[in-house]
């Protein structure tokens, strides 16, 4: 099964993708995590990506698409994958469709997580992430047992550079899923809209239900 998770920054795509991966065994492919890893490793791609991420802009399509295509050409993506943060527009969606079609596959579900803007701002400004394993927390909605430490691996928690107030504003202006992208999946008959305003534990079963 191949699925895409759609939603604005802070909708809960990463949080829910981890839970879906745990429940279903599906491979979690996050283009945001891939870019952050390149930034951490100081690669050329990381330097380029950072110059866009720091401003709250999308990384250019040709760069993102070629990174994604390389990722799904690996053996561990042959049986299915869940795409988090990709696609962001119709150009990326069509590239994904074509890459999957080359292997006789297609997108089976597009899950759109909807959350109002005011809630997104408080989610992003309170988000903490593990430096070691990437586990997500929120200081109010999903706090770690010990402040600053990851429950899963004990790693140090940090706040993302692009969660600072001015970059958050820019991301929310520029990075909501465009209507044409939502339409792309609606026309394909695979779109499911999920109320992402509910608490984390209540959103997960709604998503799993949509996958059945
Ligand atoms: P990326 O990392 O994908 O960022 P994003 O799409 O902005 O999404 P976020 O990771 O901010 O939010 P999320 O929806 O995953 O929410 P989360 O689960 O963390 O991309 C980063 C950058 O990389 C982009 O800005 C762009 O520059 C570049 N990029 C990536 N993909 C690209 C592409 N395809 N093309 C071009 N450029 C690309 O949750 C947020 C917080 O809320 C957490 O603290 C969590 O604990 C909490 N929370 C989650 N759910 C709930 C809930 N139901 N109730 C209360 N709190 C909740």
What percent of the chain shows pLDDT beyond 70? Answer: 100
Structure tokens given for 100: 């999957």
Q: Find the range with the poorest average confidence among 141-150, 158-167, 185-194.
A: 158-167
Largest CA distance in the chain: 47
Predicted confidence (pLDDT) per residue in 61-102, tens digit: 999 999 999 999 999 999 999 999 999 999 999 999 999 999
Count of CB atoms situated within 10 Å of the CB of 187: 9
Whole-number pLDDT of residue 15: 96
Q: Tell me what the mean pLDDT of segment 110-134 comes to.
A: 94
- Rounded to an integer, the average pLDDT of 27-52 is 96
User: What does the pLDDT read at residue 165?
Assistant: 86
Ligand 1 atom nearest 87 alpha carbon: 34
Q: What is the pLDDT of residue 26?
A: 96
Q: Whose CA is nearest to atom 54 of ligand 1?
A: 199
CA–CA gap between residue 36 and residue 168 (Å, rounded): 17
Q: Which of 162, 21, 159, 175 is nearest to 83 (CA)?
A: 21
> If you average pLDDT over every residue of the chain, what do you get?
96
Task: Give distance in angstroms: CA of 124 to centre of ligand 1.
Answer: 8
List residues near ligand 1 (CB under 6 A): 7, 9-15, 31-32, 35, 52-53, 57-59, 64, 85-86, 88, 92, 123, 127, 136-138, 141-142, 162, 171, 175, 196, 199-200, 203
Determine the average pLDDT of the residues in 98-125. Answer: 95
* Active site residue ranges: 13, 88, 127, 160, 171
Q: In the numeric block, which tokens belong to residue 163?
A: 């969660």
The token pair at 182 is 């939502």
CATH 3.40.50.300 fits 2-116+176-211, yes or no: yes
From 165, 210, 160, 157, select the one nearest 5 (Cα to Cα): 210
Instruction: Check: CB of residue 30 under 8 Å from CB of residue 21.
Output: no
Whether residue 211 is predicted with pLDDT greater than 90 in this model: the reply is: yes
Asked if residue 105 has pLDDT above 90, the reply is: yes
Burial label for 61, CB within 10 Å (0-12, 13-18, 19+), is middle
Mutate to test the pocket of ligand 1, among 7, 13, 30 (most ligand atoms within 8 A of CB): 13
With CA atoms as reference, report the closest residue to 204 among 77, 15, 45: 15
Across 90-139, the runs of DSSP E, i.e. the strands, are: 109-114, 127-130, 136-138
Q: Where are the domains of the chain?
A: 2-116+176-211
């Amino acid at each position: 099964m191949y699925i895409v998770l759609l939603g604005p920054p802070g909708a809960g795509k990463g949080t829910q993708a981890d839970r879906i991966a745990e429940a279903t065994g599906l491979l979690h492919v996050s283009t945001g995590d891939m870019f952050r890893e390149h930034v951490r490793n100081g690669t050329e791609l990381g330097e380029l990506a950072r110059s866009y991420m720091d401003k709250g802009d999308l990384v250019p399509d040709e760069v993102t698409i070629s990174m994604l295509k390389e990722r799904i050409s690996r053996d561990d993506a042959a049986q299915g994958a869940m795409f988090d943060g990709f696609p962001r527009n119709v150009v990326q969606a069509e590239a994904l469709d074509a890459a999957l079609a080359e292997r006789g596959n297609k997108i089976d579900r597009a899950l759109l997580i909807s959350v109002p803007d005011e809630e997104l701002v408080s989610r992003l400004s309170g988000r903490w992430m593990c430096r070691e394993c990437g586990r997500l927390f929120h200081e109010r909605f999903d706090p770690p047992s010990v402040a600053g430490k990851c429950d899963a691996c004990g790693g140090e928690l940090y706040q993302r550079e692009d969660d600072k107030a001015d970059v958050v504003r820019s991301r929310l202006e520029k990075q909501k899923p465009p209507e044409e992208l939502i339409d792309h999946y609606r026309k394909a008959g695979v779109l499911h809209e999920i109320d992402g305003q509910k608490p984390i534990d209540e959103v997960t079963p709604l998503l799993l239900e949509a996958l059945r």
